[in-house]
Amino acid sequence: MANHYYTVTWDQLHRDAKALAWRLHSVGPWKGIVAITRGGLIPAAIVARELECRLVETVCVVTYDGEQRGQPLVAKAAAAAGDGDGWLIIDDLVDTGTTAKKVRGLLPKAHFASVYAKPAGKPMVDTFITEVSQDTWILFPWDTEPQFIAPLAAQTP
């Protein structure tokens, strides 16, 4: 279990993904984007829109079961991207770098970008927007939903 949790809203994710696109705009042009599923799908869609990139491929890597990290399993490779030359890889978060290392092995010439990065995974990405501590678990908007929380004064210790 993580020591800290950080909730990212849809608005914040959209702003951060646009900021990522802004940084990536001057690094391109790109032949296409490879989204790492599932977390990279939404940021990749936002970046693709901002960069007017119409070719979006996926690489499907299973690394987590809930908060438990396992060995990465490639369920689907990004065949259209070849060795990654001229391609942009997008993920929501690079945590330990395990998934990033696996994808870099498949697409060694691609530019790797993530919206969020933790210290252990940061060396695996070329571009990111926000660094969070290693002991923080990010709750993305697709993993949460709004619910009522009693006021602090009404909660019993």
| DSSP states of 19-70 | HHHHHHHTT---SEEEEEETTTHHHHHHHHHHTT---EEEEEEEEEETTEEE
Per-residue pLDDT of the chain (157 residues; tens, 9 = 90+): 568 889 999 999 999 999 999 999 999 899 999 999 999 999 999 999 999 999 999 999 988 776 667 788 899 999 999 999 999 999 999 999 999 999 999 999 999 999 999 999 999 999 999 999 999 999 999 988 888 878 888 877 6
Alpha-carbon distances of 91 from 11, 68, 103, 153, 157, rounded to whole Å = 17, 18, 11, 40, 40
Domains of the chain: 4-154 (3.40.50.2020)
Strands 68-76 and 56-65: antiparallel
Per-residue model confidence (pLDDT) at position 98: 92
Residues tagged active-site: 91-92, 95
pLDDT at 66: 63
